[in-house]
Amino acid sequence: MKWTTLGWGGITLELPEDWELSGLSGDEKSGYLRLEDADMPRLELKWSESKQKKPDLQKVLDDYFKLVRKNYKRKNTNLHVQRNVNLIRDAEFFENREVVFFNWKGDFRASGVIFHCQTCKRITIAQVMGHLKENIKETTSRILSSVRDHSVGQATLWSAYQLNAEVPRRYRLDKHKLLSGYLLFSFVDGSRKVSIERYGVADVTLKEQNLEEWFRGRYAKAIRGYGFSIESSNGDADERLTLIGEETRIIDRVPLAPALVIDKIMRRKTFAVYLWHCHHSNRIYVVQAIAKQDAARTAEEIAASIRCH
């Protein structure tokens, strides 16, 4: 079984590669995600920030199982719940956390954990599901042991449908779109902006135009008002373009010395785009960054974190 790492809003965990995202909502503060394979739902994960210093996890579980039981009542099926079971023995998992494990059985079985992290103040519930006669102990142990509820480095991992990108931690998620053939992650940090996009069926999109022509047409509005240079390269079977520039302003027509003084006072926005056509995956990737400084470095670092195949 091949495994991969999924990240969203500071939460990361390992899971089987063939489990697909089937439900997603929320951001860093609170949210929900669900994954499934060809057979059934396999993983559910919920998180939310707690204002309490030491929240009552048993009460949170009470509320959680009320919802589960409500669903099973509609099906006229019994639900059997066990709490305070032992699912993980690794001492590292319990550091700075209050932890409660649980099992339950209905139409299928689930094993999970609820914990409160003293560092990020989040309450996280994660559960792994399987058929009643299926042995999910090993898979459950590996997944639950891998759950991390906050970033520890300088970047946060964001994932969806085989797209994994590391974004500087200071940026917060502004919006996202997860569509067939198109993914978008958009982030902000004050006036700074970052976006990551992935387009499918690149061979169809680029059938009658090259990558630069497609970009100039598709992003005409976004690049309006910026002067930039373009560099192209081909390597590792990928066609790549890099655009680096800055916004054009009225002071560009002012004589040099006064313009330099004004420019120091009113620093202009810089603009950077890294885009490439991955022939192996037949996709186009576009990473944009806008900031008064370091836009090029930010876009380059994010683009470098993306493995397109």
Nearest to 214 by CA among 116, 262, 285: 285
Q: Is residue 152 part of a domain?
A: no
Give the residue ranges of DSSP H helices in 9-106. Answer: 57-75
What CA–CA distance (Å, rounded) separates 88 from 99?
A: 10
Same domain, 173 and 299: yes
Q: Is residue 208 part of a domain?
A: yes
Structure tokens at 259: 């313009």
Q: Domain limits at 55?
A: 3-146
Q: How far is CA 149 from CA 46, 120, 257, in A?
A: 11, 8, 52
Pick the range with the lowest mean pLDDT from 12-16, 96-100, 198-202, 260-264: 260-264
Same domain, 133 and 219: no
Q: How many domains does the chain have?
A: 2
pLDDT in tens, 159-183: 999 999 999 999 999 999 999 999 9
Same domain, 43 and 113: yes
Mean pLDDT over residues 85-98, rounded? 92
Same domain, 19 and 134: yes
Q: How many CB atoms lie within 10 A of CB 32?
A: 14
Give the residue ranges of DSSP H helices in the chain. Answer: 57-75, 137-146, 202-205, 211-218, 220-223, 256-265, 295-305
Q: Is residue 157 part of a domain?
A: no
What CA–CA distance (Å, rounded) separates 20 from 24?
A: 11
Last residue of a domain, one of 146, 177, 193: 146
pLDDT in tens, 20-63: 999 998 888 899 999 999 999 999 999 999 999 999 999 999 99
What CA–CA distance (Å, rounded) separates 81 from 58?
A: 13
The reported pTM is 0.88
Structure tokens at 231: 């560099």
Last residue of a domain, one of 114, 146, 178: 146
Do 240 and 276 meet the contact criterion of CB atoms below 8 Å apart? Answer: yes
User: Which bin fits 33, alpha (ψ -120 to 50), beta or left (φ > 0)?
Assistant: beta
Same domain, 242 and 136: no
Mean pLDDT over residues 55-79, rounded? 84
Same domain, 130 and 253: no
CATH label of the domain that carries residue 9: 3.40.1000
What CA–CA distance (Å, rounded) separates 182 from 184?
A: 7
Same domain, 57 and 9: yes
Q: Is residue 163 part of a domain?
A: no
Q: How many CB atoms lie within 10 A of CB 285?
A: 23
Q: Is residue 158 part of a domain?
A: no
Structure tokens at 83: 């709490």
The one-character DSSP state at 92 is G
Same domain, 118 and 44: yes
Same domain, 177 and 109: no
Same domain, 195 and 265: yes
Q: Is residue 161 part of a domain?
A: no
Q: Is residue 291 part of a domain?
A: yes
Q: Is residue 130 part of a domain?
A: yes
Whether the predicted pLDDT of 253 surpasses 60: no
Kindly give the pairing relationship between strand 155-160 and strand 122-130.
Answer: unpaired
Same domain, 130 and 198: no
Rg of the chain over Cα atoms, rounded to whole angstroms, equals: 24
Same domain, 189 and 300: yes
